[in-house]
Amino acid sequence: MSIALITGASAGIGAAFAQELASRGMNLILVARSEDKLQALADSLQIQYQIQVQIIAQDLTEPDAAAIVFDKVEQQGHSVDLLINNAGIGDYGDFAESDRDLQLKIIQLNTLVLVDLTHRFLQGMRQRRSGGIINLSSVAGFQSMPYFSIYAATKAFILSFSESLSAENRSYGVTVLAVCPGPSETKFFAEAGFPSYLIDLVSRTYTPTKTVVRDALDALEKRDAIVVPGNPINQVLVNWPRFFPRDAVANFWKFALAKR
């Protein structure tokens, strides 16, 4: 049976990936900070689907976190067939007034750890000439976003990086996919400190996490490089910046996301 490693598996989209892949008979390695949540999810999936689930409780912003996770997997003698780089956070607000350490942590978690894990697990996949890597970007990756600047920049990084890796690795039998959801039904916006009126607004276009996951896995099967799952509004969100000057796009989001 094949193995998927999912970062940020204790909640939201990561937990939905765990649920869906378990229902398809995959063994899982679940990574996040909340050991209790990971253990509860692992217990329920093992009982429900008779699969094996290992948990790794790890803060991925700690130094050498990717190496620690990789070494634990190697020590167990597992080879990962599907890596899902899902853990990601954001921080709403004016960059100049923000907590500088937090901005650096966001870059660390959303991009550096993703690159590190990808580089480590890709080696075995290429040797075996099979495997998949799913990286969580966002509709935010297609445009600048004042008041959510670092987050959008990290998601643009992930999008560009994943498209390049998709092309580099196709002939080695490894599929790399950037998943670019729009607002999805998780605690993400609350965790990122969005004001409640903005959360109310975006929640009207929420895509269920199950849909994000199913669209992502369908795209992986088709060996696509990018997928924009769910609500058709998300297609508008990724495409409209192509038809307007870049400063108009930035000014639109400055207006839309400004604190009122």
Ligand X SMILES: NC(=O)c1ccc[n+]([C@@H]2O[C@H](COP(=O)([O-])OP(=O)(O)OC[C@H]3O[C@@H](n4cnc5c(N)ncnc54)[C@H](OP(=O)(O)O)[C@@H]3O)[C@@H](O)[C@H]2O)c1
Question: Catalytic positions, please?
Answer: 151
Q: Between the CA of residue 115 and those of 29, 57, 108, 245, what are the distances in Å?
A: 18, 20, 10, 31
Q: Which is nearer to ligand X, 124 or 181 (CB)?
A: 181
Candidate segments 17-25, 55-63, 168-176, 252-260, binder of ligand X by CB under 6 A: 55-63
Question: What are the DSSP calls for 84-138, one per residue?
Answer: EE-------S-GGGS-HHHHHHHHIIIIIHHHHHHHHHHHHHHHHT-EEEEEE--
Q: Which stretch binds ligand X (CB under 6 A): 44-52, 71-79, 123-131, 187-195?
A: 187-195
- The mark string for 99-138 relative to ligand X (x by CB under 6 A, - otherwise) is ----------x--------------------------x-x
**CA terminus-to-terminus distance, the chain:** 52
List the one residue from 5, 14, 118, 169 that touches ligand X (CB under 6 A): 14
Sole binder of ligand X in the list 183, 229, 230, 241 (CB under 6 A) = 183
Binder of ligand X out of 46, 78, 112, 191 (CB under 6 A): 191
Under the binding rule (CB under 6 A), the answer on residue 34 touching ligand X is yes
Neighbour-count burial of 166, counting CB atoms closer than 10 A to its CB (0-12 exposed, 13-18 middle, 19+ buried): buried
Q: Which of 186, 219, 229, 230 is the binder for ligand X (CB under 6 A)?
A: 186
Contacts 24+ apart (CB under 8 A), 67-73: 67/116, 67/120, 69/5, 69/7, 69/31, 69/117, 70/117, 70/120, 70/121, 73/5, 73/29
Among 3, 22, 28, 32, binds ligand X (CB under 6 A): 32
- Least separation in angstroms between residue 139's CB and ligand X is 7
The number of C-alpha atoms within 13 Å of 15 and in the hemisphere containing its C-beta is: 16
Query: Phi, psi at residue 226, to the nearest 5°?
Result: -140, 145
**Shortest CB 169 distance to ligand X, Å:** 21
Instruction: Give the residue, chosen from 184, 194, 213, 249, that forms a contact with ligand X under the rule CB under 6 A.
Output: 184
Stretch that binds ligand X, among 2-10, 165-173, 218-226, 246-254 (CB under 6 A): 2-10
Among 42, 87, 122, 217, binds ligand X (CB under 6 A): 87
Cβ neighbours, 10 Å, residue 33: 15
Residues contacting 221, CB < 8 A, separation 6+ = none
- Radius of gyration, alpha carbons of the chain: 18
Our finding on whether 86 is near ligand X (CB under 6 A) is yes
Q: Is 204 strand, coil or helix?
A: coil
Q: Among 18-26, 29-37, 159-167, 231-239, which window interacts with ligand X (CB under 6 A)?
A: 29-37
- Which C-beta is closer to ligand X: that of 131 or that of 181? 181
- Name the site residues for ligand X (rule: CB under 6 A): 8-14, 32-34, 37, 59-61, 86-89, 109, 136, 138, 181, 183-184, 186-188, 191
